[in-house]
Amino acid sequence: TQLLEQSPQFLSIQEGENLTVYCNSSSVFSSLQWYRQEPGEGPVLLVTVVTGGEVKKLKRLTFQFGDARKDSSLHITAAQPGDTGLYLCAGALTGGGNKLTFGTGTQLKVEL
Amino acid sequence: GAVVSQHPSWVICKSGTSVKIECRSLDFQATTMFWYRQFPKQSLMLMATSNEGSKATYEQGVEKDKFLINHASLTLSTLTVTSAHPEDSSFYICSARVLAGALYEQYFGPGTRLTVT
């Protein structure tokens, strides 16, 4: 059983559309990170959220941590082709030694 | 800051040979590094936690005698795939843990594509 489930798995949209990616778990995380990975490269850290209910914005990307720290969402406004990539959430379990548990991933493709 | 490099970026080897992959933190010291494996279009799977000056901690199902990890300095961890077989072909990624304020964050290397023929 995957600890962190992401939805949707795949998403193909047109440039300018908005989208939301969800990261859900039944476990509580002390912190949660979002990464973007492009083919043949390592994941790049986008944001870390720590407090339940926290909202962070990074240009057109809005990240939210659930009140109970069990889930998170990533919302992209006016998507651009450069947003194409694999989006991964990763959580650090409380008492888990700071190891990250990665989500199942969401493959996003933004077309012109 | 927080740049992690890996070498080589890709390697092709014959079945039965061993391959060593290096992971370096370029502008910081890391007492803890992590090794992941990733199959095409899938998420990252943690293989082991590499601790400077001590033995690595392996995740369940990962053979420690097959995937040898050495973290001999604060900036270098190595993963050696011994007696490689085609099923070991994969994308291997390392990360280094950095204390950012009161939080630990992980920064990833660019990955190493291993193909075993």
pLDDT at A111: 96
Neighbouring residues of A14: CB distance < 8 A, sequence distance ≥ 6: A110, A111, A112
pLDDT tens profile A49-75: 999 999 999 999 999 999 999 999 999
Query: With 0-12 CB in 10 A as exposed, 13-18 as middle and 19+ as buried, what is B103?
Result: middle
| A25-34, A80-89, A90-99, B90-99: the lowest-pLDDT one | A90-99
CA dihedral defined by B100, B104, B107, B113, rounded to 10 degrees? Answer: 170
Instruction: Please indicate if any CB of chain A lies within 8 Å of the CB of B32.
Output: yes
Inspect the interface and report whether the beta carbons of B44 and A43 lie closer than 8 Å: yes
Q: CB within 8 A of B50, min separation 6: which ones?
A: B32, B33, B34, B35, B56, B69, B70, B71, B77, B94
**Which residues, in sequence order, are CB contacts of A62 under 8 Å at separation 6+?**
A55, A56, A74, A75, A76, A77
Asked if B79 contacts B90 with a C-beta cutoff of 8 angstroms, the reply is no
C-alpha distance from residue A61 to each of A84, A92, A103, B99, B115 (Å): 13, 22, 18, 24, 36
Above 60 in pLDDT, residue B37? yes
The pLDDT assigned to A96 comes to: 63
- Summarised one tens digit per residue, pLDDT across range B46-87 is 999 998 888 999 999 999 999 999 998 999 999 999 999 999
Find the residue in A nearest to B34 (Cα). A99
The whole-angstrom distance between A46's CA and the closest CA on chain B is: 11
**Is B108 near chain A, with CB under 8 Å?**
yes
Query: In this structure, are residues A74 and A87 in contact, taking their beta carbons and an 8 Å threshold?
Result: yes
The number of C-beta contacts closer than 8 angstroms across A and B is 56
Distance between CA atoms of residues A110 and A83, nearest Å: 7
Instruction: Give residue A46's identity as a one-letter amino acid code.
Output: L
Number of helices and strands in chain A (H, E) = 0, 11
The 3-state DSSP class for residue A93 equals strand
Facing residue for A43 by CB, picked from B97, B108, B113: B108
Cβ neighbours of A35 in B, within 8 Å: 108
